[in-house]
Protein backbone atom coordinates (compact mmCIF):
# COMPACT_ATOMS: atom_id res chain seq x y z
CA UNK A 1 0.00 0.00 0.00
CA UNK A 2 2.70 2.46 1.03
CA UNK A 3 4.65 1.89 -2.17
CA UNK A 4 1.52 2.53 -4.28
CA UNK A 5 1.09 5.87 -2.52
CA UNK A 6 4.77 6.57 -3.15
CA UNK A 7 4.32 5.74 -6.85
CA UNK A 8 1.27 7.99 -7.07
CA UNK A 9 2.45 10.99 -5.08
CA UNK A 10 6.22 11.18 -5.47
CA UNK A 11 7.96 8.98 -8.05
CA UNK A 12 7.04 8.59 -10.88
CA UNK A 13 3.67 10.15 -10.15
CA UNK A 14 2.67 13.62 -9.12
CA UNK A 15 5.84 15.34 -7.87
CA UNK A 16 8.26 13.88 -10.41
CA UNK A 17 5.98 14.36 -13.41
CA UNK A 18 5.06 17.90 -12.37
CA UNK A 19 8.71 18.86 -11.83
CA UNK A 20 9.76 17.30 -15.15
CA UNK A 21 6.84 18.96 -16.90
CA UNK A 22 7.75 22.31 -15.38
CA UNK A 23 11.27 21.99 -16.75
CA UNK A 24 9.90 21.00 -20.17
CA UNK A 25 7.50 23.95 -20.01
CA UNK A 26 10.49 26.25 -19.40
CA UNK A 27 12.27 24.57 -22.34
CA UNK A 28 9.22 25.19 -24.52
CA UNK A 29 9.03 28.87 -23.56
CA UNK A 30 12.79 29.36 -23.91
CA UNK A 31 12.82 27.81 -27.41
CA UNK A 32 9.82 29.98 -28.34
CA UNK A 33 11.75 33.03 -27.15
CA UNK A 34 14.89 32.02 -29.09
CA UNK A 35 12.82 31.45 -32.25
CA UNK A 36 11.52 35.02 -31.88
CA UNK A 37 15.06 36.38 -31.10
CA UNK A 38 14.12 37.10 -27.50
CA UNK A 39 15.94 36.12 -24.34
CA UNK A 40 13.17 34.20 -22.63
CA UNK A 41 12.11 33.53 -19.04
CA UNK A 42 14.39 32.26 -16.24
CA UNK A 43 14.72 28.53 -15.52
CA UNK A 44 12.38 28.41 -12.53
CA UNK A 45 9.63 30.48 -14.18
CA UNK A 46 6.96 27.69 -14.39
CA UNK A 47 7.43 26.97 -10.69
CA UNK A 48 7.14 30.66 -9.78
CA UNK A 49 3.89 30.78 -11.77
CA UNK A 50 2.36 27.83 -9.94
CA UNK A 51 3.52 28.92 -6.47
CA UNK A 52 2.18 32.41 -7.08
CA UNK A 53 -1.20 31.04 -8.21
CA UNK A 54 -1.38 28.89 -5.06
CA UNK A 55 -1.12 32.05 -2.96
CA UNK A 56 -3.87 33.95 -4.74
CA UNK A 57 -7.55 34.28 -4.03
CA UNK A 58 -9.82 31.63 -5.60
CA UNK A 59 -13.00 33.12 -7.00
CA UNK A 60 -16.19 31.21 -7.76
CA UNK A 61 -18.61 32.88 -10.21
CA UNK A 62 -22.04 33.58 -8.77
CA UNK A 63 -23.98 31.78 -11.52
CA UNK A 64 -21.79 28.70 -11.65
CA UNK A 65 -22.53 25.17 -10.51
CA UNK A 66 -20.00 25.27 -7.70
CA UNK A 67 -19.20 21.61 -7.10
CA UNK A 68 -18.40 20.61 -10.72
CA UNK A 69 -16.57 23.92 -11.21
CA UNK A 70 -14.26 23.38 -8.23
CA UNK A 71 -13.80 19.60 -8.55
CA UNK A 72 -13.11 19.46 -12.30
CA UNK A 73 -9.42 20.56 -11.98
CA UNK A 74 -8.93 17.99 -9.19
CA UNK A 75 -10.27 15.17 -11.38
CA UNK A 76 -8.17 16.40 -14.31
CA UNK A 77 -5.04 16.38 -12.14
CA UNK A 78 -5.84 12.92 -10.78
CA UNK A 79 -6.40 11.53 -14.28
CA UNK A 80 -3.17 13.01 -15.60
CA UNK A 81 -1.24 11.72 -12.56
CA UNK A 82 -2.64 8.19 -12.95
CA UNK A 83 -1.74 8.22 -16.64
CA UNK A 84 1.74 9.38 -15.63
CA UNK A 85 2.07 6.47 -13.17
CA UNK A 86 0.93 3.87 -15.70
CA UNK A 87 3.17 5.25 -18.47
CA UNK A 88 6.28 5.90 -16.41
CA UNK A 89 6.37 2.76 -14.24
CA UNK A 90 6.99 0.38 -17.20
CA UNK A 91 9.20 2.87 -19.05
CA UNK A 92 11.51 3.26 -16.04
CA UNK A 93 11.50 -0.51 -15.61
CA UNK A 94 10.14 -0.34 -12.04
CA UNK A 95 7.23 -2.72 -12.63
CA UNK A 96 6.16 -4.49 -15.78
CA UNK A 97 2.61 -3.17 -15.69
CA UNK A 98 -0.31 -5.52 -16.34
CA UNK A 99 -2.11 -6.98 -19.33
CA UNK A 100 -4.06 -4.28 -21.15
CA UNK A 101 -2.49 -1.25 -19.46
CA UNK A 102 -2.31 0.46 -22.86
CA UNK A 103 -6.12 0.72 -22.85
CA UNK A 104 -6.14 2.08 -19.30
CA UNK A 105 -3.57 4.71 -20.28
CA UNK A 106 -5.69 5.68 -23.27
CA UNK A 107 -8.69 6.24 -21.00
CA UNK A 108 -6.77 8.19 -18.37
CA UNK A 109 -5.30 10.46 -21.03
CA UNK A 110 -8.80 11.60 -22.01
CA UNK A 111 -9.83 12.32 -18.40
CA UNK A 112 -8.20 15.81 -18.20
CA UNK A 113 -9.94 17.12 -21.33
CA UNK A 114 -13.31 15.76 -20.27
CA UNK A 115 -12.98 17.16 -16.74
CA UNK A 116 -12.06 20.56 -18.12
CA UNK A 117 -15.11 20.44 -20.41
CA UNK A 118 -17.35 19.70 -17.40
CA UNK A 119 -15.70 22.48 -15.39
CA UNK A 120 -16.05 25.00 -18.19
CA UNK A 121 -19.68 24.06 -18.79
CA UNK A 122 -20.34 24.65 -15.07
CA UNK A 123 -19.10 28.24 -15.08
CA UNK A 124 -22.05 29.78 -16.87
CA UNK A 125 -19.68 31.98 -18.86
CA UNK A 126 -20.51 32.04 -22.60
CA UNK A 127 -16.84 32.21 -23.62
CA UNK A 128 -16.00 29.20 -21.44
CA UNK A 129 -18.88 27.25 -22.96
CA UNK A 130 -17.67 28.15 -26.47
CA UNK A 131 -14.23 26.86 -25.52
CA UNK A 132 -15.71 23.69 -24.04
CA UNK A 133 -17.73 22.94 -27.16
CA UNK A 134 -14.65 23.47 -29.32
CA UNK A 135 -12.61 21.15 -27.10
CA UNK A 136 -15.35 18.53 -27.36
CA UNK A 137 -15.28 18.63 -31.16
CA UNK A 138 -11.50 18.53 -31.12
CA UNK A 139 -11.56 15.40 -28.94
CA UNK A 140 -14.02 13.76 -31.34
CA UNK A 141 -11.68 14.49 -34.23
CA UNK A 142 -8.33 13.37 -32.80
CA UNK A 143 -9.32 10.42 -30.62
CA UNK A 144 -10.11 8.15 -33.58
CA UNK A 145 -6.69 8.76 -35.12
CA UNK A 146 -5.07 8.27 -31.69
CA UNK A 147 -6.83 4.94 -31.19
CA UNK A 148 -5.93 3.75 -34.71
CA UNK A 149 -2.28 4.59 -34.03
CA UNK A 150 -2.37 2.54 -30.82
CA UNK A 151 -4.00 -0.33 -32.75
CA UNK A 152 -1.27 -0.18 -35.41
CA UNK A 153 1.40 -0.22 -32.70
CA UNK A 154 -0.23 -3.21 -31.03
CA UNK A 155 -0.21 -5.01 -34.39
CA UNK A 156 3.38 -4.11 -35.20
CA UNK A 157 4.72 -5.21 -31.81
CA UNK A 158 3.19 -8.67 -32.04
CA UNK A 159 -0.35 -8.27 -30.68
CA UNK A 160 0.51 -7.24 -27.15
CA UNK A 161 -1.56 -4.85 -25.04
CA UNK A 162 1.20 -4.40 -22.48
CA UNK A 163 3.45 -1.35 -22.53
CA UNK A 164 6.38 -3.26 -21.02
CA UNK A 165 6.10 -5.89 -23.80
CA UNK A 166 6.19 -3.14 -26.45
CA UNK A 167 9.40 -1.81 -24.88
CA UNK A 168 10.88 -5.35 -24.83
CA UNK A 169 9.88 -5.88 -28.48
CA UNK A 170 11.70 -2.68 -29.45
CA UNK A 171 14.81 -3.70 -27.48
CA UNK A 172 15.03 -6.90 -29.53
CA UNK A 173 13.86 -5.70 -32.95
CA UNK A 174 14.83 -2.03 -33.04
CA UNK A 175 12.64 1.05 -32.55
CA UNK A 176 9.18 1.01 -34.11
CA UNK A 177 9.92 4.30 -35.90
CA UNK A 178 12.58 2.48 -37.91
CA UNK A 179 10.20 1.35 -40.66
CA UNK A 180 8.20 3.28 -43.26
CA UNK A 181 4.87 2.61 -41.54
CA UNK A 182 6.46 3.55 -38.22
CA UNK A 183 7.49 6.95 -39.58
CA UNK A 184 3.98 7.64 -40.89
CA UNK A 185 2.50 6.64 -37.52
CA UNK A 186 5.03 8.86 -35.73
CA UNK A 187 3.99 11.90 -37.80
CA UNK A 188 0.31 11.29 -37.06
CA UNK A 189 1.05 10.72 -33.36
CA UNK A 190 2.95 14.02 -33.09
CA UNK A 191 -0.09 15.91 -34.44
CA UNK A 192 -2.39 14.00 -32.08
CA UNK A 193 -0.36 14.93 -28.99
CA UNK A 194 -0.13 18.50 -30.27
CA UNK A 195 -3.95 18.55 -30.20
CA UNK A 196 -4.09 16.78 -26.83
CA UNK A 197 -1.75 19.38 -25.32
CA UNK A 198 -3.73 22.24 -26.89
CA UNK A 199 -0.65 23.78 -28.52
CA UNK A 200 -0.97 26.37 -31.22
CA UNK A 201 -2.38 24.95 -34.43
CA UNK A 202 -5.04 23.27 -32.28
CA UNK A 203 -5.46 25.74 -29.40
CA UNK A 204 -8.91 26.97 -30.47
CA UNK A 205 -10.37 25.78 -27.15
CA UNK A 206 -8.50 28.47 -25.24
CA UNK A 207 -7.69 30.93 -28.03
CA UNK A 208 -6.22 33.89 -26.13
CA UNK A 209 -7.07 36.45 -28.79
CA UNK A 210 -10.68 35.54 -29.60
CA UNK A 211 -12.30 33.88 -26.57
CA UNK A 212 -9.64 35.19 -24.12
CA UNK A 213 -8.79 32.02 -22.18
CA UNK A 214 -11.71 29.86 -23.30
CA UNK A 215 -12.26 26.92 -20.97
CA UNK A 216 -10.09 28.38 -18.20
CA UNK A 217 -11.48 31.92 -18.23
CA UNK A 218 -13.17 31.72 -14.80
CA UNK A 219 -10.44 29.77 -13.00
CA UNK A 220 -8.26 31.72 -10.60
CA UNK A 221 -5.86 31.08 -7.76
CA UNK A 222 -5.67 27.54 -6.46
CA UNK A 223 -7.90 25.93 -9.11
CA UNK A 224 -5.95 27.57 -11.93
CA UNK A 225 -2.73 26.33 -10.33
CA UNK A 226 -4.18 22.80 -10.56
CA UNK A 227 -4.93 23.39 -14.24
CA UNK A 228 -1.35 24.56 -14.80
CA UNK A 229 0.05 21.51 -12.97
CA UNK A 230 -2.11 19.21 -15.09
CA UNK A 231 -0.77 20.81 -18.23
CA UNK A 232 2.82 20.42 -17.01
CA UNK A 233 2.21 16.74 -16.30
CA UNK A 234 0.66 16.23 -19.74
CA UNK A 235 3.59 18.04 -21.35
CA UNK A 236 5.88 15.53 -19.65
CA UNK A 237 3.96 12.28 -20.14
CA UNK A 238 2.74 12.63 -23.72
CA UNK A 239 6.27 13.08 -25.17
CA UNK A 240 7.42 10.25 -22.86
CA UNK A 241 4.61 8.09 -24.25
CA UNK A 242 5.82 8.89 -27.77
CA UNK A 243 9.40 7.96 -26.84
CA UNK A 244 8.23 4.70 -25.30
CA UNK A 245 6.01 3.73 -28.22
CA UNK A 246 8.19 4.76 -31.15
CA UNK A 247 11.76 5.60 -30.17
CA UNK A 248 12.73 2.56 -28.15
CA UNK A 249 11.92 3.81 -24.66
CA UNK A 250 14.30 5.03 -21.97
CA UNK A 251 17.54 3.45 -20.79
CA UNK A 252 18.83 4.23 -17.32
CA UNK A 253 22.44 3.12 -17.41
CA UNK A 254 25.62 4.90 -18.50
CA UNK A 255 25.24 7.05 -21.62
CA UNK A 256 21.68 5.75 -21.96
CA UNK A 257 20.57 8.47 -19.53
CA UNK A 258 21.86 11.22 -21.83
CA UNK A 259 20.17 9.57 -24.81
CA UNK A 260 16.87 9.28 -22.94
CA UNK A 261 16.88 12.96 -21.98
CA UNK A 262 17.88 13.97 -25.51
CA UNK A 263 15.04 11.93 -27.02
CA UNK A 264 12.52 13.64 -24.73
CA UNK A 265 13.91 17.11 -25.45
CA UNK A 266 13.92 16.42 -29.20
CA UNK A 267 10.22 15.49 -29.13
CA UNK A 268 9.35 18.64 -27.18
CA UNK A 269 11.51 20.67 -29.58
CA UNK A 270 9.49 19.37 -32.55
CA UNK A 271 6.22 20.22 -30.77
CA UNK A 272 7.51 23.72 -29.97
CA UNK A 273 8.66 24.36 -33.52
CA UNK A 274 5.28 23.26 -34.89
CA UNK A 275 3.66 25.60 -32.37
CA UNK A 276 5.83 28.53 -33.40
CA UNK A 277 5.58 28.20 -37.15
CA UNK A 278 1.83 27.71 -37.57
CA UNK A 279 -1.24 29.90 -37.15
CA UNK A 280 -4.30 28.75 -35.25
CA UNK A 281 -6.62 26.58 -37.36
CA UNK A 282 -10.35 27.02 -37.45
CA UNK A 283 -12.32 24.20 -35.87
CA UNK A 284 -13.59 22.89 -39.21
CA UNK A 285 -10.08 22.87 -40.64
CA UNK A 286 -8.76 20.95 -37.64
CA UNK A 287 -11.58 18.40 -37.88
CA UNK A 288 -10.95 17.93 -41.60
CA UNK A 289 -7.22 17.60 -40.91
CA UNK A 290 -7.79 14.75 -38.45
CA UNK A 291 -10.81 13.03 -39.99
CA UNK A 292 -9.48 12.99 -43.54
CA UNK A 293 -5.74 13.58 -43.45
CA UNK A 294 -4.56 11.87 -40.30
CA UNK A 295 -6.99 8.95 -40.43
CA UNK A 296 -6.02 8.16 -44.03
CA UNK A 297 -2.34 8.45 -43.12
CA UNK A 298 -2.76 6.05 -40.20
CA UNK A 299 -4.79 3.57 -42.28
CA UNK A 300 -2.13 3.70 -45.01
CA UNK A 301 0.52 3.01 -42.36
CA UNK A 302 -1.57 0.12 -41.03
CA UNK A 303 -1.81 -1.41 -44.51
CA UNK A 304 1.95 -0.99 -45.00
CA UNK A 305 2.59 -2.71 -41.68
CA UNK A 306 0.40 -5.63 -42.80
CA UNK A 307 2.92 -6.09 -45.64
CA UNK A 308 5.76 -5.88 -43.12
CA UNK A 309 7.11 -2.51 -44.28
CA UNK B 1 10.06 38.39 2.34
CA UNK B 2 8.27 35.07 2.14
CA UNK B 3 8.03 32.59 -0.71
CA UNK B 4 4.61 33.97 -1.63
CA UNK B 5 5.79 37.54 -2.18
CA UNK B 6 8.94 36.39 -3.96
CA UNK B 7 6.95 34.28 -6.42
CA UNK B 8 4.43 37.08 -6.87
CA UNK B 9 7.04 39.57 -7.99
CA UNK B 10 8.77 36.97 -10.17
CA UNK B 11 5.60 36.16 -12.12
CA UNK B 12 3.43 39.21 -12.81
CA UNK B 13 0.61 38.51 -15.23
CA UNK B 14 -0.84 41.65 -16.75
CA UNK B 15 -4.44 42.25 -17.72
CA UNK B 16 -4.82 45.28 -19.95
CA UNK B 17 -7.90 47.44 -19.46
CA UNK B 18 -8.21 49.88 -22.34
CA UNK B 19 -10.45 52.81 -21.44
CA UNK B 20 -11.26 55.41 -24.09
CA UNK B 21 -7.70 55.09 -25.28
CA UNK B 22 -6.28 56.56 -28.50
CA UNK B 23 -4.43 53.19 -28.96
CA UNK B 24 -0.98 54.77 -28.75
CA UNK B 25 -0.38 53.44 -25.24
CA UNK B 26 -1.68 50.02 -26.29
CA UNK B 27 0.89 49.87 -29.07
CA UNK B 28 3.67 50.87 -26.67
CA UNK B 29 2.64 48.05 -24.32
CA UNK B 30 3.04 45.59 -27.18
CA UNK B 31 6.48 47.09 -27.84
CA UNK B 32 7.57 45.76 -24.45
CA UNK B 33 6.96 42.20 -25.65
CA UNK B 34 9.12 42.59 -28.75
CA UNK B 35 12.66 41.13 -28.98
CA UNK B 36 14.26 44.49 -28.20
CA UNK B 37 12.72 44.87 -24.72
CA UNK B 38 11.30 41.38 -23.97
CA UNK B 39 9.69 41.72 -20.54
CA UNK B 40 9.08 37.95 -20.47
CA UNK B 41 12.65 37.91 -19.07
CA UNK B 42 11.06 39.06 -15.79
CA UNK B 43 8.23 36.55 -16.03
CA UNK B 44 5.71 39.13 -17.19
CA UNK B 45 2.96 37.90 -19.50
CA UNK B 46 -0.17 39.43 -20.98
CA UNK B 47 -3.20 37.32 -20.04
CA UNK B 48 -6.66 37.39 -21.56
CA UNK B 49 -8.78 36.95 -18.45
CA UNK B 50 -8.90 39.22 -15.39
CA UNK B 51 -9.27 36.08 -13.22
CA UNK B 52 -5.65 35.15 -14.02
CA UNK B 53 -4.20 38.63 -13.57
CA UNK B 54 -1.85 40.04 -10.93
CA UNK B 55 -1.56 43.50 -12.49
CA UNK B 56 -4.48 45.56 -13.76
CA UNK B 57 -3.04 48.01 -16.28
CA UNK B 58 -5.40 50.86 -17.12
CA UNK B 59 -4.69 53.01 -20.15
CA UNK B 60 -6.73 55.75 -21.76
CA UNK B 61 -9.03 58.34 -20.28
CA UNK B 62 -11.88 56.97 -18.18
CA UNK B 63 -15.23 58.35 -19.29
CA UNK B 64 -18.70 57.82 -17.86
CA UNK B 65 -19.28 54.51 -19.63
CA UNK B 66 -15.85 53.12 -18.75
CA UNK B 67 -16.13 53.90 -15.04
CA UNK B 68 -18.62 51.13 -14.20
CA UNK B 69 -16.73 48.62 -16.32
CA UNK B 70 -13.46 49.49 -14.61
CA UNK B 71 -15.03 49.05 -11.17
CA UNK B 72 -16.54 45.73 -12.24
CA UNK B 73 -13.23 44.45 -13.59
CA UNK B 74 -11.46 45.57 -10.42
CA UNK B 75 -13.96 43.73 -8.21
CA UNK B 76 -13.61 40.57 -10.35
CA UNK B 77 -9.85 40.48 -9.97
CA UNK B 78 -8.42 37.92 -7.51
CA UNK B 79 -6.60 39.70 -4.70
CA UNK B 80 -3.76 40.66 -4.27
CA UNK B 81 -3.94 42.81 -7.39
CA UNK B 82 -1.68 45.70 -8.37
CA UNK B 83 -3.18 48.59 -10.32
CA UNK B 84 -1.03 50.55 -12.77
CA UNK B 85 -2.27 53.87 -14.19
CA UNK B 86 -0.71 54.08 -17.62
CA UNK B 87 -0.03 57.13 -19.76
CA UNK B 88 -0.98 60.76 -19.27
CA UNK B 89 -4.71 59.94 -19.59
CA UNK B 90 -4.58 57.20 -16.99
CA UNK B 91 -2.54 59.27 -14.52
CA UNK B 92 -4.31 62.62 -14.73
CA UNK B 93 -6.69 62.75 -17.67
CA UNK B 94 -4.24 64.41 -20.05
CA UNK B 95 -5.85 66.50 -22.76
CA UNK B 96 -9.25 65.01 -21.92
CA UNK B 97 -9.25 66.21 -18.31
CA UNK B 98 -11.57 69.16 -19.00
CA UNK B 99 -13.85 67.28 -21.39
CA UNK B 100 -17.53 66.67 -20.67
CA UNK B 101 -17.57 62.83 -20.72
CA UNK B 102 -14.39 62.57 -18.64
CA UNK B 103 -15.09 60.92 -15.29
CA UNK B 104 -12.01 61.25 -13.14
CA UNK B 105 -8.52 59.83 -13.47
CA UNK B 106 -8.03 56.20 -12.44
CA UNK B 107 -6.96 56.94 -8.85
CA UNK B 108 -10.30 58.55 -8.04
CA UNK B 109 -12.09 55.31 -8.92
CA UNK B 110 -9.82 52.52 -7.67
CA UNK B 111 -6.60 52.56 -5.58
CA UNK B 112 -3.54 52.91 -7.81
CA UNK B 113 -0.11 51.47 -6.91
CA UNK B 114 2.10 52.72 -9.73
CA UNK B 115 1.85 55.64 -12.15
CA UNK B 116 3.63 55.51 -15.52
CA UNK B 117 3.25 58.97 -17.12
CA UNK B 118 3.97 59.89 -20.72
CA UNK B 119 2.02 60.35 -23.91
CA UNK B 120 2.70 57.56 -24.71
CA UNK B 121 5.31 56.29 -22.18
CA UNK B 122 8.45 54.94 -23.83
CA UNK B 123 9.13 51.24 -23.34
CA UNK B 124 12.11 52.24 -21.17
CA UNK B 125 9.72 54.19 -18.93
CA UNK B 126 7.43 51.17 -18.72
CA UNK B 127 10.31 48.92 -17.66
CA UNK B 128 11.40 51.55 -15.10
CA UNK B 129 7.84 51.55 -13.74
CA UNK B 130 7.84 47.76 -13.53
CA UNK B 131 11.17 47.82 -11.68
CA UNK B 132 9.68 50.27 -9.16
CA UNK B 133 6.66 48.02 -8.80
CA UNK B 134 8.84 44.97 -8.10
CA UNK B 135 10.93 46.91 -5.57
CA UNK B 136 7.78 48.17 -3.89
CA UNK B 137 6.54 44.58 -3.54
CA UNK B 138 9.97 43.57 -2.24
CA UNK B 139 10.07 46.40 0.32
Residues recorded for chain A = 309
In the sheet with B13-18, reading across from the earlier edge strand, the strands are B45-46, B13-18, B55-59, B82-86, B114-116
Nearest to A16 by CA among A166, A174, A232, A286: A232
CA atoms within 13 A on the CB side of A219: 29
Question: Which position has the higher pLDDT, B1 or A268?
Answer: A268
Residue B59's contacts (CB-CB under 8 Å, 6 or more residues apart) are: B16, B17, B18, B19, B21, B25, B26, B29, B86, B87, B89, B90
Predicted ipTM?
A: 0.84
Q: How does residue B1 score in pLDDT terms, banded at 50, 70 and 90?
A: low
pLDDT at position B61 is: 86
What's the mean pLDDT in A292-306? 90
What's the mean pLDDT in A150-175? 85
Interchain CB distance below 8 Å, B4 and A45: no
Q: What is the DSSP letter of B50?
A: G
Average pLDDT, chain A: 87
Q: Which site among B2, B5, B7 would you substitute to test the A interface, given the most A Cβ atoms closer than 10 Å to its Cβ?
A: B7
What's the mean pLDDT in B39-62? 86
* Residue from the list A40, A42, A219 with its beta carbon closest to the beta carbon of B51: A219
Residues B66-125: tens digit of each pLDDT: 888 889 899 888 888 888 888 888 888 888 888 888 887 888 888 888 888 888 888 888
Interchain CB distance below 8 Å, B40 and A33: yes
pLDDT at position A168 is: 84
Mark out chain B residues that contact chain A at CB-CB < 8 A: 3-4, 7-8, 10-11, 35, 38, 40-41, 43, 47-49, 51-52, 54, 76, 78-80
Burial class (CB in 10 A: 0-12, 13-18, 19+), B75: exposed
* Residue from the list B3, B78, B79 with its beta carbon closest to the beta carbon of A51: B3
Closest approach of B55 to chain A, Cα-based (Å): 13
pLDDT at position A249 is: 77
Q: B82's torsion region: left (phi>0), alpha (psi -120 to 50) or beta? A: beta
What's the mean pLDDT in A290-301? 90
- What number of H helices and E strands is found in chain B? 5, 5
Contact A144, A240 (CB under 8 A): no
Closest approach of B89 to chain A, Cα-based (Å): 25
pLDDT at position A112 is: 92
pLDDT at position B137 is: 63
DSSP string, A6-23: HHHHTSSSHHHHHHHHHH
Q: How does residue B138 score in pLDDT terms, banded at 50, 70 and 90?
A: low
Question: Which position has the higher pLDDT, A209 or B30?
Answer: B30
Interchain CB distance below 8 Å, A56 and B80: yes
Residue A97 has pLDDT above 80, yes or no: no
* Residue from the list B3, B35, B43 with its beta carbon closest to the beta carbon of A36: B35
Interchain CB distance below 8 Å, A33 and B8: no
Q: What is the pTM of this model?
A: 0.90
Q: How far apart are CA B63 and CA B65, in angstroms?
A: 6
pLDDT at position A230 is: 92
Burial class (CB in 10 A: 0-12, 13-18, 19+), A202: buried
pLDDT at position A181 is: 87
pLDDT at position A266 is: 92
Amino acid sequence: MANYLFYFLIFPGFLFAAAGGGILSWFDRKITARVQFRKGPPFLQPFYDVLKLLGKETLVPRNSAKIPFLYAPVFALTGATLAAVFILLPSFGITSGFRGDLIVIYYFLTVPSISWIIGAMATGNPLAITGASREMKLILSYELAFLLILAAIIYKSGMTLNLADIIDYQKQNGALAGSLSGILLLIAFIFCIQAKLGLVPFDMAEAETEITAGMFIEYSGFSYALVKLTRYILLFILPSFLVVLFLGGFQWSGTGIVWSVLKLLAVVLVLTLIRNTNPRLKLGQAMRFFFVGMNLLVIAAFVLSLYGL
Amino acid sequence: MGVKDYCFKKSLWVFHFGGASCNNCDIEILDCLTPRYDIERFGIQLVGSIKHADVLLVSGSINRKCRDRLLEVYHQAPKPIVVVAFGACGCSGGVFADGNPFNGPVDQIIPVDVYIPGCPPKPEAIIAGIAKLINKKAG
